[in-house]
A and B are shown apart, each in its own frame.
Chain A
Amino acid sequence: MFELAARADVLWLLTAAAFVTFLTRIGGDLILSRFNYIHPRVEAALEAVPAAVLTAIVVPPALSAGPPEIMAIIAAGFAALRFSAFTVLVIGIGVLLAARNLGL
């Protein structure tokens, strides 16, 4: 059942991802904490990074997909205002599968 198969290039890419993740985890303590003052524009830019990246990942595939996918995104978007992440996932996937089965 449990096989140890792995591709070297995939493991290297994952290791690199783990390394840059570690850099972000120590980076603030190593670099930002040396400054007593962080320029508000720099901080505004730093704070915008996650939302900007996630938007750029989500919006294009959502806008290029069919009606079931668009319905699922809209339902999940509203659900996310109220419910926890896993509930939202269940609602979004539920709407997607329902719409697909109805042949929309």
Chain B
Amino acid sequence: MTKTAKTSDFWEGIRETLPLMGAVIPFSLVFGATAVQAGYTIFETIFASATIFAGASQFVFIEVNGLQVPGWSVILSVFAVNFRHILYSASLGRYMQKFSPPKKLLAFFFMTDFHWANGETRIHTKGAERFTPTWYAGFTVPLYVMWVAGTAVGAVTGQMITNPEAFGFDFLLPIYFLTILIGFRRRPNFLFVVCVSGTVSYLALVILGEPWHISLGAITGVLAAALLPLKDRSDSVLTHGQGEDV
């Protein structure tokens, strides 16, 4: 590939992140402020964004770790929410012939819902040969820098808020999770899974108490989905179906 094509791949990657900033910047600010309000130090908060780099699961970490549960159940919740990445990496990995093994590992470290959605779009409109490490880098740098920087600004600002209830911080996470949940509504069996998980988790909370309601509700919903009569799977993620932004 010529030098010009490489440069244009990089800039195309950067340009594609611009429309995503409207989601990334506000949520990085909100994450920083929420984490500090939940009792994390500024350094811990930035460390979370820099190492995990997955919005929904960082909020899940705060929520579940606030329940005074054992560490492994916090990790299990994070793992479960990020489970969708397994489908993304299986799908994108098939088109990474231009990535050396170290570049591939590095690329996967930074892979978000956006990388998957924009990557699949690029592969299917411009061809797999334009799905290059250079494009990937251009797409990653602004997202990562803004996510970490926004977290830092949010954390420093959040520290100054002394009356979190006046800003609704105490109920921000349930609203945020609901938004993400609704984003998954076009997935097969969505309503069925929601009804099963919702009923079981609520009953488990009433009968057994925290934190078992999360695991029990989630596991029952997943098993129920697996046991449903099988339908046409042409809309699956592995055969480039539709994603959701988190």
B86 touches A27 (CB 8 A): yes
Contact of B22 among A6, A21, A58, A84 (CB under 8 A): A84
Contacts of B185 in A (CB 8 A): 81
Distance between B58 CB and nearest chain A CB, rounded to angstroms: 8
How many residues of chain B get a CB closer than 8 Å to chain A's CBs? 104
Interface residues of chain B: helix, strand, loop or mixed (majority): helix
B175 touches A92 (CB 8 A): yes
Contact of A57 among B53, B60, B172 (CB under 8 A): B60
In the complex, the 7 A-B pairs of residues with the closest C-beta atoms, listed nearest first: A52-B221, A56-B217, A28-B90, A29-B93, A48-B225, A28-B89, A80-B182
Give A contacts to B, CB under 8 Å.
1-7, 10-11, 13-18, 20-29, 31-33, 38, 40-65, 69, 72-73, 76-77, 80-81, 84-86, 88-89, 92-93, 96-97
Give B contacts to A, CB under 8 Å.
22-23, 26-27, 30, 40-44, 47-48, 51-54, 57, 60-61, 63-65, 71, 74-75, 77-94, 96, 104-105, 108-109, 111, 152, 156, 166-168, 171-172, 174-185, 187-190, 193-194, 196-198, 200-202, 204-205, 213-228, 230, 233, 236-238, 245
18 pairs from A and B in contact (CB 8 Å cutoff): A14-B52, A17-B78, A22-B108, A31-B86, A46-B86, A46-B87, A47-B187, A48-B224, A52-B196, A56-B216, A58-B174, A59-B202, A60-B205, A72-B168, A76-B179, A89-B176, A92-B179, A96-B168
